[in-house]
Amino acid sequence: MSSSLDRIPTACYCKDDNHKQKTDCENTEENMKFGIMKKAKNAFKFRNSLKNKIRRRNDAGVSKVEDIHEIEEQEFVDAFRQTLITDNLLPAKFDDYHIMLRFLKARKFNINKTKIMWANMLEWRKMFGTDTIIEDFDFKELKEVQQYYPHGYHGVDKDGRPVYIERLGMIDVDMLLRVTTFDRFVKYQVQESEKSFAIRFPACSVARNRPIDSSTTILDVRGLGLMSLTGPVMDFLKLVQEVDNNNYPETLCRMFIINAGPGFRMIWNAVKPLLDPETTSKIQLLGSNYQGKLLEAIDESELPDFLGGCCTCDIEGGCLRSDKGPWKDENLLKMPQDTEVIQRGAIPDDNGSLLSG
């Protein structure tokens, strides 16, 4: 991150005829630094006790959500928020710490670049009709689309994040375009993203008593090679990815690309250098022996049987049409939340107050 918001004390010096001497100001600052460092040792245990505090629902049925903020990130979000307020770019529904933090991360905490991205997002939402797309758009061809492009949300990982699965190697673009259009499919993808923020993430947050705003993706590329990536397929993938990157940044926690054969590995080796290193660090490329890695991240009860789990959703179309997850529990969505914000990196003073360290 930029050091512009770092709090680095400036040493005080005075000058006589021949040399510089330390002033009382500098000596005082050194004593303060020493005192703070001493307190930091005692604060380590304090911070971890906060982080690992038992999270529970109280007798009144209110969900206790522990929200831990990093001190430096909090400073960037505060500065960015003031910039948005000044420029009248902060609608009430987006006045949220985690939303602003995601956009800042996407632009490496450069506030000016983040503001441009943010303004473009707001304009896009207005033009696309995003604010009402959950209610207004009826993707009635969903079952047929899933037949030719199997995908869907199914369960959560061990950290409580939604799991999204795509069987990209089974996509049939010709048949897909017979039952829908690119424009309608993009609207459907936007609608699903809005549902994640309006329904899936909040339900997962309540279920795990901590903020959740990212997901785990499993991308099955069995059978996908150079010949599979025709013009229409690439156009389709680029269009969907562009909408996600520009308007829903930093929502991917990790991705498992499974059943990657020699053909796909050639594609990956060519594409990887073009991607942001932080993005590639979230991606694991796996062959046909992927089950062990998936089960490290996802309980077998949350993983479909065709991926090595034990779930066989008893509905038409199976697991990928079930949309299984905490968001199906209406009681979770109705439960009021009591959010406790904790700044990680905070150091308690002698009176128990917190100092940033």
pLDDT digits (tens, 9 = 90+) for 146-184: 999 999 999 999 999 999 999 998 988 889 999 999 899
Q: Which of 176, 268, 174, 184 is nearest to 219 (CA)?
A: 268
Q: Give yes or no for residue 115 having a pLDDT over 70.
A: yes
Quote the pLDDT of residue 157. Answer: 98
- Show the tokens assigned to 174: 């010709």
pTM across the whole model: 0.77
Quote the pLDDT of residue 61. Answer: 52
Q: What is the mean pLDDT of residues 108-131?
A: 97
Confidence of residue 351 (pLDDT cuts 50, 70, 90): very low
Given the structure tokens 């690309």, which residue do they identify?
Answer: 257
- Show the tokens assigned to 58: 């109280």
What is the SS3 assignment for 126-182?
A: HHHCHHHHHHHCCCCCHHHHHHHCCEEEEEECCCCCEEEEECHHHCCHHHHHHHCCH
pLDDT digits (tens, 9 = 90+) for 275-289: 788 889 999 999 999
Distance CA 124, CA 129 (A): 8
Q: What is the mean pLDDT of residues 50-79?
A: 63
The whole-chain average pLDDT of the chain stands at 80
Distances (CA, A) of 187 to 37, 39, 99, 164, 191: 53, 53, 21, 18, 6
Quote the pLDDT of residue 230. Answer: 65
Confidence of residue 345 (pLDDT cuts 50, 70, 90): low
